[in-house]
Structure 1
């Protein structure tokens, strides 16, 4: 028995003595096998090398080199563009890794495959859990870039910013500069919330300074002046090496100037010279009347008007408004009147946070922002009012349009056509004529189908001067239909050149309605005639109303900031002026109920 135990002990001692040499020999043999496969790879004998790796993996399932073998096999599959097999091999390489460093390269390669296949989230998942422990700087750089690019493709911009920052820290100076330029490419796509979230992450100072500047500038453009000031001051204070410090300082100076407001000072920008001077002078008269500047009224010393002339040059209008904001410190603006000027100034007003009430009908003003308002009779509102009456009350279904082939007429015709289609009405004919035409026989005859007409109403959007020439041709061809007209018809001069019987029963629409004899209009009309010795008109009534609205907010409701005035206009209720009760649409349109008139015995009779 003792001999048996002795033999066992000797055997164990011998195994312990010779095991390392056996293990070392096996490792040497495995290393030699992989070296042979490596030679095959270098010689371009890819298929033989693949077979070699597969045989090695099968015969050495517990080899210390197993992860390396799977990695080599994965690379060969990549070279053959067999990405499915490559992913399996690389995944096996990661699973058989003995050390964390063995996972680095296969994880990166898997991420690259997924990225090429546009599986960006899979690419992120492949490397995100590994990158923190990566020691190889080259691999870490590539992983950072891969995570940045994948996050960017997924629209996860806050994560993209973080990984771009990591990449820039690991890159050489040249590549770091490229990273800065790349950041500029996708910053515009980031929301304010995403930038704010990115600023909370661990990103380099150069990234934070860039994000802070962009955020501050956006706040400025959104007229969030306090937020803009806070962000830009933070940049100047914390990031002294930032290339954005100078620009930030300039914006802070501008914010300081924009923040200076004289609460009772209202600006007017109007065409006081050139082809539209008549409208500008009329508007100015209405504005001055609203501000009570005449001796026989009580002036309100809390209100000042600053007036700037701008004819048909949008840039001159923009410069005039800039001056009134920066030097006169106006709290709000009335005007411009012309469309081009109004659109250009609207962009500036929104940028500066200056509430403006444009007296222009331009449809572009409706979507400029929360500081831009419009007080004007629009083509859209006229078309809707006419069709409400014609289709809803009179049950008319078929229509024709006879219109001047210019911007005014074409816009009216297209709006009528579009609104009619939305209401399921029928447009039977749409005929144009040259602006300034005097003979309308051919155009009116083309409305007929043979010798008869097949429509219930004819819409003519033109001035009273042209209507005087058109209507006799309509009667000549014995077209007996309901005539519909725009506000351009609304003048007593309409009946001076044509027998009123020709127009009997025609229905037109207008915002200016002295025929209603409302209390507000009668008061305004009396004061206007007392001041200027002439009858009022629509444009001066609109300017009066716009200034009166601002005075209501500034004086009676004690609103002393531009933001407060803009909000006050948005939520306006209970105000009534010479043009009737006022409401404000979500798009900033100052709206009124239009008046429909029926022509009866040579007079415009308001329809109830």
Structure 2
């Protein structure tokens, strides 16, 4: 019978994205220190985008060079103006302004009309009606830029625009006036133009004016105030590009030069632009050795120089040693310390506390202050990503212990030695299809990122090998009963989709004499309906506690999972009367690994009983493995820890420590780049977690542990295939 499940429907295929080796952190530093308020002045059609022009140059006057109207002398207009002047002396300002506008309207192309328009603008300005003041002055100046009082009109126009929030227009007008002014007037106009530029978001222009003021300051207090203004802009508003534009070509004699130059140095430091950082700081200390910033500059230069000073036997460790993840960090550290016993390799441990920012800072400390030749860790995804980005920027080799997919894509100095979801999916598919010859599978997975990712990865691996996923069902992360999901897998939930059920119902309805008998017949039909089991294995990527509940629910729906013994299978066939009955193998991930219970058996077996026997799961470490290197590690760990068994984290930490010890003691790398090359060339390292080789993407390739479950416990199934991997690359 055809399977009832559309294998593409229940499980959403997720797009995979790999970590790109981008300068995300660096680009973030190019953004302004503070959010820039948007100008409330709309751009005119065809105008350049705000900030696109060269803001380091004073803007041209926004007004035409010559009159657009030839004003004539008119006696009637002159008389009307004189009458308006007389009446305005006793009228309120706005009413007086209207008197002048009446003259303007009556005699538009006259000298008296222009004078009336100017007087109306002054009255509006003095009464703080800046909108009408701007309207009057704009009309006047575009009509006659050579008007006798044009300079005063322009000044008032610029100030009115500033007060009304039309910052871009205000800047254009005031800055062009300041360029031609002198003395106190120039200072005042420059201040106002600077305010306007800030309001318009023209921070290069604002900074240019502030630096200009600093250079023109006459005495100490005035100079200090101007430099303080530059500092305010540099630290609060201007971004990297603003500062770089203004600093370009600026004379060191300008009092603001040290402010801009040291700020540039700090930006280069954040961007890890070491060449520009060192050249900028060296010039700064040469030109301004007495600057208040000089002590910080010397310290920054010394720290930058130390980044290439390496202590060849020092290895940094990035682990959560406090907080909720402390047990994980301690487990890895115990393994590393065991691996380095008797060596001259020194560990410098940095507590990341499970915080990404702290992880990045810790990498900087290892590179700048500790001289570490390499680093190990972190464990957590966000920590590892941040640490890897910083380590790559500093060219510090880092051996991460995270499951984060794509972590090594960040750059050539990033390695990974940790079991990943992709690797587990690949190992299960290799075993089930390559070793056991299976072709069809189902997936029953928790609807959480871990479960979804593993289900997708396994699906891909099966399809790549020519197999099929015949059914896929998800369940809630806190679910404890699985009857519905089990019924769906075997075709006992959507009964209307089954031809045999539809035909059986039709026969029952036709043959029954009354409703009671029809109901009984249908109930009997449902009870006798055989399961549709068109898969040979089921992947359950979940914790062992949940698996011990899922397995019995599958058995209720006649999915036989515990008949790997031919005699047991024959017994079940006779009991059920189904000669065609086939067993289904349950497959799991390292989450199936459980502690020993009271009986000495794994708790998964104690709770799941016979329903989990004959199952197979994969892990990155198996304490009872027959592999010699694993046995040596387990024996040494037990001896050092009062007989306690190690787990995956201890084993991974042990292997990381031994890898670096081997490289340091045998290859004697004197630089970080040499260690990176030696670690990348590591092949067939015989570790507690398997023989390890780093591939071209610096992912640890190693055979995983395949573990079978029977009534006596768990055992390693076979010698690993040489092409299996820990990272899934």
Bucket of the pairwise TM-score, normalised by the shorter protein? 0.5 to 0.7
Q: Does 1:334 align with 2:381?
A: no
Contact (CA 8 Å) 2:118, 2:136: kept in 1 or not? no
Distance 1:354 1:235, change over 3 A: same
Structure 2 CA distance for aligned equivalents of residues 265 and 92 of structure 1 = 74
Distance 1:124 1:531, change over 3 A: same
Q: How big is the shift at 1:184?
A: 1.6
Residue aligning to 1:297: none
Contact (CA 8 Å) 2:315, 2:348: kept in 1 or not? no
Contact (CA 8 Å) 2:428, 2:617: kept in 1 or not? yes
1:95 match: secondary structure: coil
Q: Does 1:487 align with 2:590?
A: yes
2:265 match: secondary structure: helix
Residue aligning to 1:79: 129
Q: Does 1:252 align with 2:301?
A: yes
**Uncovered stretches (5+) of structure 2, i.e. residues with no partner:** 1-72, 464-468, 495-532, 561-583, 640-644, 724-729
Deviations 1:271-318 (A, max 9, x none): 999845454333334456xxxx68xxxxxxxxx410256789679999
Residue aligning to 1:43: 93
Residue aligning to 1:195: 243
Distance 1:414 1:164, change over 3 A: farther
108, 130, 134: which one aligns with 2:181: 134
Q: How big is the shift at 1:265?
A: 3.5
**Normalised TM-score (structure 1):** 0.64
Structure 2 CA distance for aligned equivalents of residues 390 and 311 of structure 1 = 41
Q: How big is the shift at 1:446?
A: 5.3
Structure 1 CA distance for aligned equivalents of residues 131 and 391 of structure 2 = 58
Residue aligning to 1:375: 417
Distance 1:240 1:326, change over 3 A: closer
Contact (CA 8 Å) 2:314, 2:374: kept in 1 or not? yes
Contact (CA 8 Å) 2:397, 2:676: kept in 1 or not? no
Distance 1:509 1:551, change over 3 A: same
Residue aligning to 1:143: 193
Q: How big is the shift at 1:200?
A: 0.6
212, 234, 240: which one aligns with 2:261: 212
1:163 match: secondary structure: helix
Residue aligning to 1:12: none
Residue aligning to 1:462: 543
Residue aligning to 1:430: 475
Distance 1:219 1:603, change over 3 A: same
Contact (CA 8 Å) 1:308, 1:320: kept in 2 or not? no
2:279 match: secondary structure: helix
Structure 1 CA distance for aligned equivalents of residues 87 and 215 of structure 2 = 38
Q: Does 1:443 align with 2:481?
A: yes
Structure 2 CA distance for aligned equivalents of residues 102 and 34 of structure 1 = 21
**Normalised TM-score (structure 2):** 0.55
Query: What is the 5 A alignment of 1:69-468?
Result: 72=122, 79=129, 81=131, 85-86=135-136, 88-92=138-142, 95-97=145-147, 101=151, 104-105=154-155, 108=158, 112=162, 116=165, 120=168, 125-126=172-173, 129-135=176-182, 136-137=185-186, 138-152=188-202, 157-166=203-212, 177=228, 180-187=231-238, 190-191=239-240, 194-202=242-250, 205=254, 207-240=256-289, 242-268=291-317, 275=327, 277-286=330-339, 304-308=344-348, 329-336=371-378, 354-361=396-403, 373-379=415-421, 382=424, 399-402=443-446, 412-413=450-451, 415-416=453-454, 428-433=473-478, 442-445=480-483, 447-449=485-487, 452=492, 457-463=538-544, 467=547
Structure 2 CA distance for aligned equivalents of residues 58 and 574 of structure 1 = 90
Distance 1:377 1:97, change over 3 A: farther
Q: How many residues align?
A: 537
Query: Where is the helix percentage greater, Structure 1 or Structure 2?
Result: 1
Deviations 1:445-501 (A, max 9, x none): 3534599468974524224x7756753454355345663421233699769759998
Query: What is the 5 A alignment of 1:54-65?
Result: 54-55=105-106, 57-60=108-111
Distance 1:524 1:540, change over 3 A: farther
Deviations 1:68-108 (A, max 9, x none): 56965995999373599457515426633469846742662
Contact (CA 8 Å) 2:543, 2:591: kept in 1 or not? yes
Q: How big is the shift at 1:584?
A: 6.4
Structure 2 CA distance for aligned equivalents of residues 161 and 327 of structure 1 = 36
C-alpha RMSD over aligned residues: 6.0
Structure 1 CA distance for aligned equivalents of residues 458 and 144 of structure 2 = 68
Q: How big is the shift at 1:263?
A: 3.3
Contact (CA 8 Å) 1:310, 1:320: kept in 2 or not? yes
Distance 1:216 1:390, change over 3 A: farther
Q: How big is the shift at 1:356?
A: 2.9
Distance 1:124 1:595, change over 3 A: farther
Q: How big is the shift at 1:185?
A: 1.5
